[in-house]
Structure 1
Amino acid sequence: MSNVYDRLLKKEAKLAVIGLGYVGLPIALAFARRIKVVGFDINQKRVDMMRRGEDPSNELEASEFEGCDIHFSADLNDLKDVEFFIVAVPTPIDNQNIPDLTPLLGATRTVGQVLKKGD
Protein backbone atom coordinates (compact mmCIF):
# COMPACT_ATOMS: atom_id res chain seq x y z
CA MET A 1 0.00 0.00 0.00
CA SER A 2 1.40 3.41 -0.93
CA ASN A 3 1.47 6.29 1.50
CA VAL A 4 -1.06 9.12 1.41
CA TYR A 5 1.43 11.57 -0.10
CA ASP A 6 2.04 9.33 -3.12
CA ARG A 7 -1.67 8.63 -3.48
CA LEU A 8 -2.41 12.37 -3.43
CA LEU A 9 0.18 13.08 -6.12
CA LYS A 10 -1.25 10.30 -8.30
CA LYS A 11 -4.75 11.74 -7.72
CA GLU A 12 -5.82 8.46 -6.15
CA ALA A 13 -6.68 10.27 -2.90
CA LYS A 14 -8.22 13.62 -2.01
CA LEU A 15 -7.23 16.38 0.38
CA ALA A 16 -9.82 18.62 2.04
CA VAL A 17 -9.40 22.13 3.33
CA ILE A 18 -12.00 22.89 5.98
CA GLY A 19 -12.75 26.61 6.14
CA LEU A 20 -12.37 28.69 2.99
CA GLY A 21 -11.69 32.15 4.32
CA TYR A 22 -8.71 34.36 3.52
CA VAL A 23 -6.34 31.62 4.76
CA GLY A 24 -8.08 28.42 3.68
CA LEU A 25 -9.07 29.39 0.14
CA PRO A 26 -5.54 30.23 -1.09
CA ILE A 27 -4.23 27.03 0.54
CA ALA A 28 -6.94 24.96 -1.14
CA LEU A 29 -6.25 26.49 -4.55
CA ALA A 30 -2.49 26.01 -4.19
CA PHE A 31 -2.91 22.30 -3.44
CA ALA A 32 -5.53 21.97 -6.21
CA ARG A 33 -2.92 22.87 -8.81
CA ARG A 34 -1.30 19.46 -8.16
CA ILE A 35 -3.81 17.21 -6.41
CA LYS A 36 -7.56 16.59 -5.99
CA VAL A 37 -9.05 18.90 -3.37
CA VAL A 38 -12.39 19.31 -1.67
CA GLY A 39 -12.81 22.86 -0.42
CA PHE A 40 -15.34 22.75 2.41
CA ASP A 41 -17.12 25.65 4.06
CA ILE A 42 -20.32 25.75 6.12
CA ASN A 43 -21.52 28.89 4.32
CA GLN A 44 -23.37 27.78 1.16
CA LYS A 45 -23.43 31.32 -0.24
CA ARG A 46 -19.61 31.49 -0.09
CA VAL A 47 -19.37 28.02 -1.66
CA ASP A 48 -21.62 29.14 -4.52
CA MET A 49 -19.40 32.17 -5.14
CA MET A 50 -16.25 30.04 -5.22
CA ARG A 51 -17.87 27.62 -7.65
CA ARG A 52 -18.25 30.62 -9.97
CA GLY A 53 -14.58 31.49 -9.51
CA GLU A 54 -15.27 34.38 -7.15
CA ASP A 55 -13.36 34.99 -3.93
CA PRO A 56 -15.81 36.15 -1.23
CA SER A 57 -13.01 38.10 0.50
CA ASN A 58 -12.04 39.80 -2.79
CA GLU A 59 -8.37 38.98 -2.33
CA LEU A 60 -7.91 36.56 -5.25
CA GLU A 61 -8.45 37.09 -8.95
CA ALA A 62 -10.70 34.74 -10.91
CA SER A 63 -7.60 33.46 -12.73
CA GLU A 64 -6.41 31.90 -9.45
CA PHE A 65 -9.25 29.37 -9.75
CA GLU A 66 -8.32 28.30 -13.29
CA GLY A 67 -6.72 24.91 -13.80
CA CYS A 68 -7.44 23.78 -10.24
CA ASP A 69 -8.78 20.31 -9.46
CA ILE A 70 -11.12 21.44 -6.69
CA HIS A 71 -14.69 20.74 -5.70
CA PHE A 72 -16.26 23.38 -3.45
CA SER A 73 -18.91 22.08 -1.07
CA ALA A 74 -20.92 22.67 2.08
CA ASP A 75 -22.15 19.05 2.03
CA LEU A 76 -20.60 16.77 4.65
CA ASN A 77 -21.06 13.77 2.32
CA ASP A 78 -18.43 15.22 -0.01
CA LEU A 79 -15.82 14.68 2.71
CA LYS A 80 -16.45 10.95 3.09
CA ASP A 81 -13.83 9.87 0.54
CA VAL A 82 -11.17 12.37 1.66
CA GLU A 83 -7.98 10.94 3.20
CA PHE A 84 -6.13 14.08 4.35
CA PHE A 85 -7.63 17.10 6.12
CA ILE A 86 -6.38 20.63 6.71
CA VAL A 87 -8.41 22.79 9.09
CA ALA A 88 -8.18 26.54 8.41
CA VAL A 89 -10.87 28.21 10.47
CA PRO A 90 -10.71 31.46 12.43
CA THR A 91 -9.74 31.58 16.10
CA PRO A 92 -10.58 35.16 17.03
CA ILE A 93 -9.41 36.54 20.35
CA ASP A 94 -11.40 38.56 22.84
CA ASN A 95 -10.30 41.74 24.63
CA GLN A 96 -8.27 39.62 27.07
CA ASN A 97 -6.45 37.83 24.23
CA ILE A 98 -8.28 34.57 24.88
CA PRO A 99 -9.03 32.70 21.66
CA ASP A 100 -12.56 31.67 20.79
CA LEU A 101 -12.11 28.05 19.79
CA THR A 102 -15.75 27.55 18.79
CA PRO A 103 -15.02 27.48 15.02
CA LEU A 104 -12.11 25.07 15.55
CA LEU A 105 -14.19 22.76 17.72
CA GLY A 106 -16.97 22.80 15.13
CA ALA A 107 -14.54 22.00 12.32
CA THR A 108 -12.99 19.12 14.24
CA ARG A 109 -16.45 17.72 14.96
CA THR A 110 -17.21 17.92 11.24
CA VAL A 111 -14.01 16.09 10.32
CA GLY A 112 -14.63 13.56 13.10
CA GLN A 113 -17.92 12.57 11.50
CA VAL A 114 -16.18 11.41 8.31
CA LEU A 115 -12.75 10.36 9.58
CA LYS A 116 -11.81 6.77 8.85
CA LYS A 117 -8.97 4.53 9.98
CA GLY A 118 -5.88 5.51 7.99
CA ASP A 119 -6.96 9.11 7.31
Structure 2
Amino acid sequence: MGACSLFFAILTLAALTGKLPWPMIWLYAAASLITFVTYRIDKSAARQGSRRTPENTLHLLALMGGWPGALIAQQHLRHKSAKTSFQLVFRATVLLNCGALGLLSTQAGALRSMLATL
Protein backbone atom coordinates (compact mmCIF):
# COMPACT_ATOMS: atom_id res chain seq x y z
CA MET A 1 0.00 0.00 0.00
CA GLY A 2 3.05 2.25 0.23
CA ALA A 3 3.06 2.95 -3.50
CA CYS A 4 -0.60 3.97 -3.38
CA SER A 5 -0.04 6.29 -0.42
CA LEU A 6 2.92 7.86 -2.19
CA PHE A 7 0.89 8.28 -5.38
CA PHE A 8 -1.99 10.01 -3.58
CA ALA A 9 0.50 12.20 -1.69
CA ILE A 10 1.99 13.27 -5.03
CA LEU A 11 -1.50 13.94 -6.41
CA THR A 12 -2.30 16.08 -3.38
CA LEU A 13 0.96 18.00 -3.73
CA ALA A 14 0.25 18.56 -7.43
CA ALA A 15 -3.23 19.87 -6.59
CA LEU A 16 -1.87 22.12 -3.83
CA THR A 17 0.63 23.66 -6.26
CA GLY A 18 -2.01 24.11 -8.96
CA LYS A 19 -0.52 21.60 -11.37
CA LEU A 20 -3.53 19.31 -11.16
CA PRO A 21 -7.23 20.03 -10.60
CA TRP A 22 -8.52 18.78 -7.23
CA PRO A 23 -11.26 16.62 -8.80
CA MET A 24 -8.55 14.38 -10.28
CA ILE A 25 -7.85 13.06 -6.78
CA TRP A 26 -11.51 12.11 -6.40
CA LEU A 27 -11.57 10.55 -9.87
CA TYR A 28 -8.57 8.37 -8.98
CA ALA A 29 -10.14 7.45 -5.64
CA ALA A 30 -13.46 6.51 -7.29
CA ALA A 31 -11.73 4.53 -10.05
CA SER A 32 -9.65 2.75 -7.43
CA LEU A 33 -12.71 1.84 -5.38
CA ILE A 34 -14.54 0.51 -8.44
CA THR A 35 -11.46 -1.48 -9.46
CA PHE A 36 -10.97 -2.92 -5.96
CA VAL A 37 -14.61 -4.05 -5.84
CA THR A 38 -14.27 -5.60 -9.31
CA TYR A 39 -11.20 -7.56 -8.15
CA ARG A 40 -13.10 -8.70 -5.05
CA ILE A 41 -16.02 -9.90 -7.19
CA ASP A 42 -13.62 -11.72 -9.52
CA LYS A 43 -11.82 -13.35 -6.59
CA SER A 44 -15.15 -14.54 -5.22
CA ALA A 45 -16.17 -15.88 -8.64
CA ALA A 46 -12.86 -17.73 -8.91
CA ARG A 47 -13.45 -19.43 -5.56
CA GLN A 48 -17.01 -20.41 -6.49
CA GLY A 49 -16.22 -21.49 -10.04
CA SER A 50 -18.55 -18.79 -11.39
CA ARG A 51 -18.20 -16.56 -14.42
CA ARG A 52 -15.05 -14.45 -14.10
CA THR A 53 -14.25 -10.85 -14.97
CA PRO A 54 -12.11 -10.82 -18.13
CA GLU A 55 -8.50 -9.82 -17.54
CA ASN A 56 -8.85 -7.15 -20.22
CA THR A 57 -11.54 -5.51 -18.09
CA LEU A 58 -9.27 -5.49 -15.04
CA HIS A 59 -6.48 -3.97 -17.13
CA LEU A 60 -8.79 -1.33 -18.62
CA LEU A 61 -9.95 -0.30 -15.15
CA ALA A 62 -6.31 0.01 -14.06
CA LEU A 63 -5.43 2.03 -17.14
CA MET A 64 -8.36 4.40 -16.52
CA GLY A 65 -6.96 5.33 -13.11
CA GLY A 66 -7.98 2.41 -10.95
CA TRP A 67 -4.50 0.97 -10.65
CA PRO A 68 -4.08 1.99 -6.98
CA GLY A 69 -7.21 0.01 -6.12
CA ALA A 70 -5.98 -2.88 -8.25
CA LEU A 71 -2.64 -2.88 -6.45
CA ILE A 72 -4.32 -2.88 -3.05
CA ALA A 73 -6.63 -5.73 -4.16
CA GLN A 74 -3.70 -7.75 -5.48
CA GLN A 75 -1.89 -7.38 -2.16
CA HIS A 76 -4.79 -7.79 0.27
CA LEU A 77 -6.91 -10.30 -1.64
CA ARG A 78 -3.90 -12.09 -3.11
CA HIS A 79 -5.62 -11.97 -6.46
CA LYS A 80 -3.75 -11.88 -9.78
CA SER A 81 -0.52 -11.19 -7.90
CA ALA A 82 1.36 -14.32 -8.95
CA LYS A 83 0.40 -14.54 -12.62
CA THR A 84 3.45 -13.18 -14.46
CA SER A 85 1.72 -12.39 -17.76
CA PHE A 86 -0.99 -10.45 -15.93
CA GLN A 87 1.55 -8.55 -13.85
CA LEU A 88 3.53 -7.49 -16.93
CA VAL A 89 0.45 -5.97 -18.56
CA PHE A 90 -0.68 -4.47 -15.24
CA ARG A 91 2.66 -2.72 -14.77
CA ALA A 92 2.44 -1.38 -18.32
CA THR A 93 -1.01 0.07 -17.55
CA VAL A 94 0.39 1.77 -14.44
CA LEU A 95 3.24 3.30 -16.45
CA LEU A 96 0.89 4.44 -19.21
CA ASN A 97 -1.55 5.97 -16.75
CA CYS A 98 1.15 7.77 -14.79
CA GLY A 99 2.77 8.97 -18.02
CA ALA A 100 -0.53 10.38 -19.26
CA LEU A 101 -1.14 12.04 -15.90
CA GLY A 102 2.33 13.57 -16.07
CA LEU A 103 1.59 15.00 -19.51
CA LEU A 104 -1.75 16.38 -18.37
CA SER A 105 -0.22 18.06 -15.35
CA THR A 106 2.33 20.05 -17.36
CA GLN A 107 1.57 23.54 -18.58
CA ALA A 108 1.54 22.18 -22.13
CA GLY A 109 -1.03 19.49 -21.24
CA ALA A 110 -3.80 19.85 -23.81
CA LEU A 111 -6.55 18.60 -21.51
CA ARG A 112 -5.38 20.48 -18.43
CA SER A 113 -7.65 23.47 -18.96
CA MET A 114 -10.62 21.23 -19.67
CA LEU A 115 -10.04 19.25 -16.47
CA ALA A 116 -9.72 22.48 -14.49
CA THR A 117 -13.40 23.18 -15.15
CA LEU A 118 -14.49 20.04 -13.28
Q: Which structure shows the bigger proportion of residues in strand conformation?
A: 1
Q: TM-score, normalised by structure 2?
A: 0.31
Q: Which structure shows the bigger proportion of residues in helix conformation?
A: 2
